[in-house]
């Protein structure tokens, strides 16, 4: 027999992979995953073991000889899949924030397997019959949270193909699997395109808006605009046009299998807005107001450009183009409000902004934050903090990862490594939350300095974090941010309102060199300019929302050309030629890359009606009025989807939201 010699390093790898940390209880502070122990080789075995475990748990529910009731069926289903939730929480969070080639390969392998597993649960007729029996039984003995979980569970089966025949279910499985792979591919292509932009320009796409406002070289601005706006649309290996068309083809087929005319009708059926017509009317009203303002903005900017023409800086006949909008808007802003963005940035040191965000939550909701030292995280730039309530009880953990890197997808988001719920023994399981951003790190002796928009982004994402951290639900299925898509942005967007209030700025806006608190004069300028350029800001957001709806209102993609379709949509919505949608189709990751906003990007504007109406109450009572803040905490932030969203809102506000609050807040009415 041939003797096999295994190198020592291989023996170590085999040993380290044999002991899989996902299969063990985590002896770590507050349930933080043991990132230093998790290796690439651990993921797939844990995924497969997690699927097997959940399958066995579901079979035990089915085989239970007792009559179906909430506890032995719905609660048992909610508790199932603990191992799988652990590995998915780590795998997908790490893959988006630190997407090495190795972990991308794992995700490519795991995604279709997980999709098929999800389909198997949704199409399990024996499991459905038990849930249906609970649904049809007397629910008067259930809590409101239990009723909501039961409703979500039962309707989830109905919406995911339980009523289809065997052949149609088989086809739906295939569609779901391919859609998950297409979503992954779209995101990977976009990451590659964003990195190509950085290689060409020397700066991250996350800095695009700030830099387009300051770059004086018009030819360079045009180059930046074209590179940015053509991502995923260059005919290269990362082109996303075929990907998104196939995605829409499958989504249309899926909607029709499930009995709907379009994907928009299917997706919106259980949302607050409920149907495409409601969303379309809502968006067009905002779009009309935004474009009226945009035309005024363009006239103001053209007047400044004409001065540059007269001075010989630009050729005769020069007019505002998309790559000029932010640059000349900044010139108008400086002239009108004497606000210099670069001056303001000197007061927004990342660490101080974060401390201000924490302090704001402490002042409103009584939370305390303490750095967690000596714990390994998924990247050295990430930092962890223990969050406690006023009485010292554990609220959860917040991990912040704020700096841009090539392995991180663009944008900013909140997610969970672990959910909040009450386990089978009655113990509170507190969440582990992560906030991800793409800010510039310290450089050339300067700390990380944030723009006004980036400060707002940090407050926004922490609003999502509060929604996850403060959850006080019993079941994972309804806890934290597991709410209707057009309600989920309320906690994030309302938190933005404090960012530039004078009382809040005084706690974090210190000059990075002198330590001087931001002067009242500069605060006044920031506040005065808050509603400046709302034609552009509102218009590009609304345009993206309408574009999303138009894609998902299609009943066929026959003859559709991506560029022509998008151009027609922009023309029909009344978008002026100087503005493009915030996300063009080929880099619209929210709707094609798996971020869950398909036929749902309107949610930002929909929830803004709620957030602006809600903040008006804070302004009436005092922005740090504890009674109002605790009412928002108890009635919204703690509730997850344990009650209908509008009921939660009314419980806090005492009335329905005022639909005009958004336009008032943006200065468009």
pLDDT in tens, 448-477: 999 999 999 999 999 999 999 999 999 999
Residue 369 lies in a domain: yes
- Among the listed residues 482, 480, 495, 366, the one whose alpha carbon sits nearest the alpha carbon of residue 433: 480
Mean pLDDT, residues 36-45 taken together: 96
At which of 163, 191, 220 does a domain end? 163
Q: Are residues 133 and 246 in the same domain?
A: no
CB neighbours of 63 closer than 8 A, spacing ≥ 6? none
| Residue 4 φ then ψ, to 5° | -105, 125
**Binning pLDDT at 50, 70 and 90, where does residue 594 land?**
confident
pLDDT in tens, 187-201: 999 999 999 999 999
**Residue 169 in this model has a pLDDT that exceeds 70:** yes
- Contact, 493 vs 611, CB < 8 A? yes
- Run of H or E residues at 281: helix 276-310
Residue 172 lies in a domain: no
- Contact, 229 vs 440, CB < 8 A? no
Q: Are residues 442 and 418 in the same domain?
A: yes
CA distance 204 to 212: 12
Residue 312 lies in a domain: yes
CA distance 598 to 548: 7
pLDDT in tens, 209-262: 999 999 999 999 999 999 999 999 999 999 999 999 999 999 999 999 999 999
- Pairing relation of β-strands 368-371 and 383-388? antiparallel
Q: Are residues 542 and 450 in the same domain?
A: no
Q: Are residues 370 and 400 in the same domain?
A: yes
CA distance 543 to 520: 36
Residue 111 lies in a domain: yes
What pLDDT shows up at residue 524? 95
CA distance 151 to 643: 11
**Residue 5 in this model has a pLDDT that exceeds 90:** no
Q: What is the CATH number of the domain that holds 452?
A: 1.10.1370.40
- Among the listed residues 473, 392, 390, the one whose alpha carbon sits nearest the alpha carbon of residue 431: 473
A 10 A CB-CB count for 71 gives: 12
- Among the listed residues 357, 344, 410, 381, the one whose alpha carbon sits nearest the alpha carbon of residue 207: 410
Q: What angle do CA 457, 458, 459 make, to 5 degrees?
A: 90
Compute CA 210 distance to the chain's CA centroid, rounded to the nearest angstrom: 21
**Residue 615 in this model has a pLDDT that exceeds 90:** yes
**Binning pLDDT at 50, 70 and 90, where does residue 4 land?**
very low
Residue 2 lies in a domain: no
Residue 393 lies in a domain: yes
Which one is catalytic: 96, 330, 461, 578? 461
Residue 232 DSSP symbol? T
Compute CA 382 distance to the chain's CA centroid, rounded to the nearest angstrom: 19
Burial tier of 93 (Cβ tally within 10 Å: 0-12, 13-18, 19+) = buried
Q: Are residues 430 and 291 in the same domain?
A: no
Q: Are residues 24 and 148 in the same domain?
A: yes
Q: How many domains does the chain have?
A: 3
Q: Are residues 463 and 320 in the same domain?
A: no
pLDDT in tens, 111-153: 999 999 999 999 999 999 999 999 999 999 999 999 999 999 9
At which of 571, 601, 631 does a domain end? 601
Q: Are residues 547 and 619 in the same domain?
A: no
Residue 26 lies in a domain: yes
CA distance 190 to 586: 8
- Pairing relation of β-strands 394-403 and 432-439? parallel
A 10 A CB-CB count for 372 gives: 17
- Contact, 613 vs 657, CB < 8 A? yes
| Residue 442 φ then ψ, to 5° | -55, 145
CA distance 216 to 305: 12
- Contact, 346 vs 511, CB < 8 A? yes
Residue 616 lies in a domain: yes
- In the residue annotation, 461 being an active-site residue is answered as yes
Q: Which residues of 251-264 are buried (b: 16+ CB within 10 A; e: fewer)?
A: bbbbbebbebebbb
Q: Are residues 318 and 411 in the same domain?
A: no
Q: Are residues 132 and 222 in the same domain?
A: no
Angle between helices 276-310 and 325-337 (to 10 degrees): 70
What pLDDT shows up at residue 2? 37
What pLDDT shows up at residue 595? 67
- Contact, 286 vs 549, CB < 8 A? no
Q: Are residues 216 and 123 in the same domain?
A: no
3-state DSSP assignment of residue 481: coil
Tell me, letter by letter, the H, E, C secondary structure of 140-191. CCCCHHHHHHHHHHHHHHHHCCCCCCHHHHHHHHHHHHHHHHHHHHHHHHHH
Q: Are residues 590 and 627 in the same domain?
A: no
At which of 576, 601, 626 does a domain end? 601
What is the extent of the structural domain holding 495? 350-528+604-665
Beta bridge partners of 371: 385
**Residue 523 in this model has a pLDDT that exceeds 70:** yes
């Amino acid at each position: 027999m041939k003797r096999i010699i295994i190198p020592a390093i291989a023996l170590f790898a085999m040993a380290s992979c044999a002991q899989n940390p996902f299969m063990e209880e985590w002896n770590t502070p507050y349930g933080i995953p043991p990132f230093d122990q998790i290796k690439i080789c651990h993921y797939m075995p844990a995924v497969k073991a997690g699927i097997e475990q959940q399958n066995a748990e579901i079979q035990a529910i089915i085989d239970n000889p007792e009559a179906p009731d909430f506890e032995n069926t719905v609660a048992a289903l909610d508790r199932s899949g603990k191992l799988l939730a652990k590995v998915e929480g780590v795998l997908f969070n790490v893959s988006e924030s630190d997407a090495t080639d190795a972990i991308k390969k794992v995700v490519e392998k795991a995604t279709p397997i997980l999709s098929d597993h999800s389909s198997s649960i949704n199409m399990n007729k024996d499991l459905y019959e038990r849930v249906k029996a609970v649904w049809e039984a007397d629910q008067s003995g259930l809590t409101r949270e239990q009723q909501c979980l039961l409703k979500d569970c039962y309707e989830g089966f109905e919406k995911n193909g339980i009523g289809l025949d065997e052949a149609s279910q088989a086809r739906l499985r295939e569609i779901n699997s391919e859609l998950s792979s297409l979503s992954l591919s779209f995101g990977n292509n976009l990451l590659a395109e964003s990195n190509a932009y950085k290689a060409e320009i020397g700066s991250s796409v996350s800095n695009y808006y700030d830099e387009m406002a300051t770059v004086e070289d018009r030819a360079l601005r045009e180059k930046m605009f074209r590179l940015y706006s053509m991502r995923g649309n260059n005919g290269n290996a990362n082109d996303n046009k075929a990907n998104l068309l196939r995605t829409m083809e499958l989504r249309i087929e899926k909607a029709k299998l499930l009995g709907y005319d379009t994907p928009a009708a299917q997706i919106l059926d259980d949302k607050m807005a409920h149907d495409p017509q409601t969303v379309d009317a809502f968006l067009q009203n905002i779009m009309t107001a935004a474009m009226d303002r945009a035309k005024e903005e363009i006239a103001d900017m053209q007047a400044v450009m004409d001065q540059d023409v007269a001075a010989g800086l630009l050729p005769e006949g020069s007019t505002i183009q998309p790559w000029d909008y932010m640059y000349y808007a900044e010139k108008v802003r400086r002239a009108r409000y004497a606000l210099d963005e670069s001056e303001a940035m000197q007061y927004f040191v990342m660490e101080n902004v974060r401390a201000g965000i924490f302090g704001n939550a402490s002042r409103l909701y009584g939370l305390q934050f303490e750095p967690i030292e000596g714990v390994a995280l998924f990247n050295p730039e990430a930092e962890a903090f223990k969050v406690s309530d006023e009485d010292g009880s554990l609220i959860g953990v917040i991990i912040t990862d704020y700096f841009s890197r090539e392995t991180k997808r663009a944008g900013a988001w909140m997610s969970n490594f672990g959910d909040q719920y009450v386990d089978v023994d009655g113990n509170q399981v507190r969440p582990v939350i992560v906030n991800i951003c793409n800010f510039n790190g310290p450089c050339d002796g300067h700390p990380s300095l944030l723009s006004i928009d980036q400060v707002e982004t940090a407050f926004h994402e922490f609003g999502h974090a509060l929604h996850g951290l403060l959850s006080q639900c019993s079941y994972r299925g309804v806890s934290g941010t597991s709410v209707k898509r057009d309600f989920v942005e309320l906690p994030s967007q309302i938190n933005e309102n404090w960012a530039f209030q004078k009382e809040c700025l005084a706690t974090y806006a210190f000059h990075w060199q002198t330590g001087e608190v931001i002067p009242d004069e500069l605060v006044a300028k920031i506040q005065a300019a808050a509603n400046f350029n709302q034609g552009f800001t509102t218009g590009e957001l609304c345009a993206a929302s309408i574009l999303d709806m138009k894609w998902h209102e299609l009943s066929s993609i026959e003859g559709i050309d991506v560029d022509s379709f998008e151009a027609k949509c922009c023309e029909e919505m009344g978008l002026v030629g100087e503005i493009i949608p915030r996300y063009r189709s080929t880099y619209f990751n929210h709707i094609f890359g798996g971020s869950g906003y398909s036929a749902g990007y309107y949610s930002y504007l929909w929830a803004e009606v709620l957030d602006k109406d809600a903040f008006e109450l804070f302004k009436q009572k005092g922005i740090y009025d504890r009674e109002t803040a605790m009412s928002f905490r108890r009635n919204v932030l703690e509730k997850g989807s344990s009650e209908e969203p509008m009921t939660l809102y009314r419980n806090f506000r005492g009335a329905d939201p005022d639909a005009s609050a958004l336009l008032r807040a943006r200065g468009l009415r």
